[in-house]
Structure 1
Amino acid sequence: MNNLFQKWNSISLVKRIVAGLIIGAVLGRVLPSLTVIGILGDLFVGALKGVAPILVFFLVMSSLAQHKKGAKTNMGTVVVLYLIGTFAAALVAVVGSFMFPVSLTLTDAVQNSTPPDGVGTVIKTLLMNVVQNPIASISTANYIGILAWAVVFGLALKHSSDTTKTMLGNFADAVSQAVRWVISFAPFGILGLVFATVSTSGLGIFTDYGKLLLLLVGCMVVIALIVNPIIVFLNIKQNPYPLVFKCLKDSFITAFFTRSSAANIPVNMTLCESLGLDEDNYSVSIPLGATINMAGAAITITVMTLAAVNTLGFSVDIGTALVLSIVAAVSACGASGVAGGSLLLIPLACSLFGISNDIAMQVVGVGFIIGVVQDSCETGLNSSTDALFTAAAEFRQWRKEGKPIKW
């Protein structure tokens, strides 16, 4: 048994995940009634979501407490890349929607959820999340609150004794090890998640609303394989595709099936570690990216809104489309890091065109119908880009210092 376990661990995690993916898909088609297999996916996602808030809190607090005065940081560059990437995604979605206009067959299949009234509401919610009780923030996985309080406590502990800082570092290391143990079960978790998706939704979801899905996924592919590589190249002045493909391979797959940027934070932390990045930087930038780096969400909001506009026969000029891109980018930064978090922001963007809330919520209903594919691709793009831009910012700094860039 011990030899079998060692052989299993000697296989790369990606290969094990692919094996789990294939087995899950086959079992989902052959034995769809064996629903107990799906529990593996629920357990895996639950474990990631459970440990991620604690990981973020202790890593950020520890890294700030031990940060030496005068030490270099690249957080400013990371934030700029996040904002540029999200806005560029909204622009690509506008161009794609103009080139390939799509109309919707509206549905009343809307979940009992209330959309925000406007951008002001989104910003207010973000600010209230910042000041939420730190214990409540951790228990509810409110990452903007976790980040804020971790920064406060980290700065407050900056002048504490070496013993205290060592204790914080030990806590962070212990939680990181627990995360590695959880991630080692990823192949079984992916198996369960794929089984649940295939057994319940089948392949029909790829044909219904096919044009809309193609437009959404097509825009995300353009961002992942064209726009993001250009942004990375401008920073590292090297062929960006090896780094792009590594981030897609190591981060996109798990994010695709967990459908949660928050749950994928530990995966991205491990990816950044394998790239040799500075933990003081990525321990802050990765959870921050799960909150504000939302290229996929910006695409979803923009495409779905313009599809509603086309359905109602409204005309859109370039100026209005540009405003929509800005609103979509800002709104996307307020999207929750959980499955379907961007859909409830569609009515906000629809209000720009005077579309009633009733119709807008029907568009949200369409979003939930195609969410199996749309939200998975959206989350995969969002989360893998967190690691990509974090690496690009640090490699940019390495290049300026004359250090070789390797991954």
Structure 2
Amino acid sequence: MKRIGLLPRIIIAILLGILIGAFMPNWFIRIFTTLNEVFGNFLGFAIPLIIIAFIAPGIGEIGKGAGKFLGLTAGLAYLSTIVAGILAYIAASSLFPVLLGNTVKSGAYDNPGETTLAPFFELEIPAVMGVMSALVLAFTLGLGMAAIKGNSLKNIMIDFRSIIELVISKVIIPLLPLHILGIFANMTQGGQVQTIMTVFGKVFVLIIALHLTMLVIQYTVSGAISRKNPFAMLKGMLPAYFTALGTQSSASTIPVTLERAKRIGVREKVADFSVPLLATIHLSGSTITLVSCAMAVMYMNSLELSFGLILQFILMLGVTMIAAPGVPGGAVMAALGLLDTMLGFDGTMLALMMALYLAQDSFGTACNVTGDGAIANAVDKLTANK
């Protein structure tokens, strides 16, 4: 299975879960329900650690560097991420009542807790701290490391991040397909799987359309700033887009993104600085996916979908995803704490979010890295005299 990519494994897990839920006896399904219970508790334990490990060293590393270049690049990246989230909210709030209304109102997803099977036993794994405490601690440590000259704590936090990345890549990600298998087996047994799969398909199409729309917006604005043809620049960045589709990693795509950014006219010193930084902090495609998927899950569960609540989520998301692209599915892992505390997601909803997100992870990454070229071009023009 290690030779099979994560997306194929998730697809296989979903199909197996549907088959098991449809044809196997309840006692057999309860085995996977029990595994889900244990995995879900371990994930709850890991979420505060993931937040600290990603955010604290990420802010600390960003805090050093090239002064105005750093501030301008980070500011444009954050602005792009926020605009992407708001775009996703507008599209989802406008289209979900039409796209998902009949599906959800059919009643197939009503009261899922009453139809799912109970685990054989429960294993409590308390988190070392609450999610909000982890967020505040991460911001405090990150800003403190950025302010002081010493590197001792920063090196410790970088090592801690490496450990958590190993936990994600060696434990959470390998077990995630099994977790999703159990979720879908339980939902199939409870008669909810048809609703979920219909929602998956519709949300996936909307997300891809929003990715393309966001790229057009980014390059139109960047082209207007630099007086370049936006579509010619976008065409020049397509090799980076298709490379990211294959690698599913912003970091792995940096050499191609860097070369293409220079090809579209970004000065070498600007490209060399901005592209590696943007690979870490610019996540417009991932934000579109997370906001769209979160709103779909909330819509299915009849949770509040106010603009104020989603805007708070978007604003925090732009910060908490810093340094997340370094691990597979890192963006959704970094967002789990916010989904829990700000949007009220339970274990099943978090599992659905991970399945939805990872199903299109490569497209979100491709949108992220392609947009990096637009921001690098804007930074180049705005610092032309530097």
What TM-score do you get using the length of structure 2 for normalisation? 0.57
The 1:142/1:386 distance shift into structure 2, 3 A limit, reads farther
The 1:116/1:222 distance shift into structure 2, 3 A limit, reads farther
Counterpart check, 1:212 vs 2:203: yes
Equivalent residue for 1:265?
254
Superposed, 1:125-136 pairs within 5 Å as 131-133=153-155
Superposed, 1:226-237 pairs within 5 Å as 227-237=217-227
The 1:120/1:222 distance shift into structure 2, 3 A limit, reads farther
Greater mean alpha carbon deviation, residues 90-99 or residues 318-327: 318-327
SS in 1 for 2:266: coil
Between the aligned partners of 1:124 and 1:367, the Cα distance in structure 2 is 32
Match of 1:392 among 372, 378, 381: 378
Superposed, 1:76-225 pairs within 5 Å as 76-101=71-96, 102=100, 117-118=131-132, 119-120=135-136, 123=139, 131-133=153-155, 209-225=200-216
Whichever residue aligns with residue 307 of structure 1, its letter is A
The 1:300/1:246 distance shift into structure 2, 3 A limit, reads same
2:200–2:356: 8 Å Cα contact kept in structure 1?
no
2:219–2:231: 8 Å Cα contact kept in structure 1?
yes
Count of residues in correspondence between the two structures: 260
Between the aligned partners of 1:141 and 1:387, the Cα distance in structure 2 is 31
CA offset digits 1:112-132 (Å, max 9, x no partner): xx9992443664686699754
Between the aligned partners of 1:270 and 1:356, the Cα distance in structure 2 is 41
Counterpart check, 1:313 vs 2:302: yes
CA offset digits 1:16-62 (Å, max 9, x no partner): xxxxxxxxxxxxxxxxxxxxxxxxxxxxxxxxxxxxxxxxxxxx9xx
Structure 1, unmatched stretches of 5+, are 1-59, 109-113, 144-205, 402-407
1:255–1:264: 8 Å Cα contact kept in structure 2?
yes
Aligned-pair CA distance for 1:295: 0.5
The 1:116/1:207 distance shift into structure 2, 3 A limit, reads farther
CA offset digits 1:202-259 (Å, max 9, x no partner): xxxx98821120122122111012x212321342134322112211x12111011100
The 1:230/1:295 distance shift into structure 2, 3 A limit, reads same
SS in 2 for 1:100: helix
SS in 2 for 1:333: coil
Counterpart check, 1:343 vs 2:338: no
Whichever residue aligns with residue 293 of structure 1, its letter is H
Counterpart check, 1:245 vs 2:261: no
Whichever residue aligns with residue 120 of structure 1, its letter is V
1:217–1:377: 8 Å Cα contact kept in structure 2?
yes
CA offset digits 1:304-343 (Å, max 9, x no partner): 2111210111232232232232123233335333331112
1:91–1:322: 8 Å Cα contact kept in structure 2?
yes
Equivalent residue for 1:331?
320
1:236–1:395: 8 Å Cα contact kept in structure 2?
yes
The 1:376/1:367 distance shift into structure 2, 3 A limit, reads same
Between the aligned partners of 2:377 and 2:139, the Cα distance in structure 1 is 28
What TM-score do you get using the length of structure 1 for normalisation? 0.54
Greater mean alpha carbon deviation, residues 91-100 or residues 324-333: 324-333
Match of 2:366 among 371, 374, 380: 380
1:290–1:386: 8 Å Cα contact kept in structure 2?
yes
Aligned-pair CA distance for 1:290: 1.2
- RMSD over aligned Cα atoms: 4.0
Whichever residue aligns with residue 341 of structure 1, its letter is G
The 1:333/1:140 distance shift into structure 2, 3 A limit, reads closer
Aligned-pair CA distance for 1:300: 2.0
Structure 2, unmatched stretches of 5+, are 1-60, 118-126, 147-152, 166-196
2:250–2:279: 8 Å Cα contact kept in structure 1?
yes
Aligned-pair CA distance for 1:301: 1.9
The 1:128/1:343 distance shift into structure 2, 3 A limit, reads farther
SS in 2 for 1:209: helix
The 1:129/1:318 distance shift into structure 2, 3 A limit, reads same
Whichever residue aligns with residue 311 of structure 2, its letter is L
Between the aligned partners of 1:360 and 1:397, the Cα distance in structure 2 is 44
Aligned-pair CA distance for 1:381: 0.8
Aligned-pair CA distance for 1:141: 11
The 1:255/1:83 distance shift into structure 2, 3 A limit, reads same
The 1:90/1:375 distance shift into structure 2, 3 A limit, reads same
SS in 2 for 1:213: helix
Equivalent residue for 2:25?
none
